[in-house]
């Protein structure tokens, strides 16, 4: 059975193609819940409402989580609260980027 941590670890492989950083370090994934039946809900945001690669990122999240053993189904919900800001980027990555 997968946990939120193992799914989060797998989602490190999903990158925002515009920024070339993974969505976990960018702080785009807010919450991951898993039912006893293996149904996964990923609540995440995008860097902006008009993000041109939003559909690509969402599909990659779905496919990555869905490929994990024990996952029955995956729903990716885009949320806008709290709104994403660069402060949500992992502090180590912010330091690397000179922010």
What domains does the chain contain, in order, with CATH numbers? 4-91 (3.30.300.130)
User: What angle in degrees, to the nearest 10, is found between the helix axes of 4-11 and 54-66?
Assistant: 130
Residue 24 has a pLDDT of: 97
Overall pTM > 0.85: yes
Higher pLDDT, 38 or 99: 38
| C-beta of residue 27 within 8 angstroms of C-beta of residue 89 | yes
- The mean per-residue pLDDT over the stretch 53-76 comes to 97
Alpha-helical segments (H) within the chain: 4-11, 54-66, 91-97
Model confidence pLDDT, tens digit, residues 32-58: 999 999 999 999 999 999 999 999 999
Give strand pairing partners of 77. Answer: 43
């Amino acid at each position: 059975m997968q946990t939120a941590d193992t799914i989060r670890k797998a989602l490190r492989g999903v990158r925002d193609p515009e920024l070339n950083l993974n969505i976990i370090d960018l702080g785009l994934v807010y919450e991951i819940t898993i039912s006893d039946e293996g149904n996964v809900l990923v609540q995440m945001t995008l860097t902006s409402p008009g993000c041109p690669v939003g559909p690509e990122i969402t599909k990659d999240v779905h496919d990555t989580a869905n490929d994990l053993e024990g996952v029955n189904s995956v729903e990716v919900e885009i949320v806008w609260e709290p709104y994403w800001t660069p402060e949500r980027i992992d502090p180590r990555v912010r330091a690397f980027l000179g922010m």
